Amino acid sequence: MKSNYREFLTDLKAAALIGHPDGVAMALDGLRDQPLVAANQRMSEAFIAELLLPAGRILASLPAVDLRPLLGDPSAAVRTIGAAALACRSFVEVDVTSKDLHRAGGDPRTEVRAGLGGALSEAAYLDPSHLFSMGADWLKDPSPRLRQTALTFLPALASSHGERLLALYAALGKEDDNQVRAALVAALVGLARASQAGPILDLLAFWASGPSPNTWVIAKTLSASWAAAHPARALAILETIQSRAGKTKEITNALRALERHRVN
């Protein structure tokens, strides 16, 4: 199977070097013939990282006018490649518009959004301020898909925009979409591990003391191993939300994880 994928990337690279749309289309047809892609099945993170993102980087050399049609392709794999290609190209060429990235960021398939987020994360160092601004706008968008996508690439800015990221995340304390909440937890954990543990604990304590705290987000964030380095504060926050929300599964799991990480 992997040999087929290597062959696909080789064919795609050759077609991109020539730059003729028909050659690229033929190479993509070779991918569409693969069983996983043909069935439009769910794609793993490894599949996206090892095949689709490299394919997107290859096609980033093509003009945006040739890449936009990929975002409307019936195949989620091809849409992921198109999203990654446009994301990579957006940092070096002016023909990619905010509308292009917005469309990819709102794709109904999580894999397409993950591919976009992965490509933006990889290229974040090229223009971190622009990426931060875009992510901030997306976090305010009514579409939960865009909010979730923003949370997949904003963590790449932790070293350069840590405090500003925390301010963005703080506005999501009432988030109720499951996918956005899961992405928020991952972003908070990432920031806590990037020398921002104290401010993250402050934020969680603030949420915990407020009206209708988001117990799931708080408990899940404190379930990660970083919290074991701050047992007293983590335990106090968990006790606060338990006193208000009762003994939920998430709180119980967080307490167990905190003890387990401390023992290990």
When the pLDDT of each residue in the chain is averaged and rounded to a whole number, the result is 94
Q: What is the pLDDT of residues 104-116, one digit of tens each?
A: 999 999 999 999 9
Mean pLDDT across 39-61: 96
Q: Is the pLDDT of residue 99 over 60?
A: yes
Mean pLDDT across 249-254: 94
Q: Is the pLDDT of residue 255 over 80?
A: yes
How many other β-carbons are positioned within 10 Å of the β-carbon of residue 25?
Answer: 13
Q: Residue 246's pLDDT is what? A: 86
Q: What is the pLDDT of residues 233-246, one digit of tens each?
A: 999 999 999 998 88
Tokens representing 68 are: 């936009």
Distance CA(49)–CA(122), nearest Å, equals 11
What pTM did the predictor assign?
A: 0.93
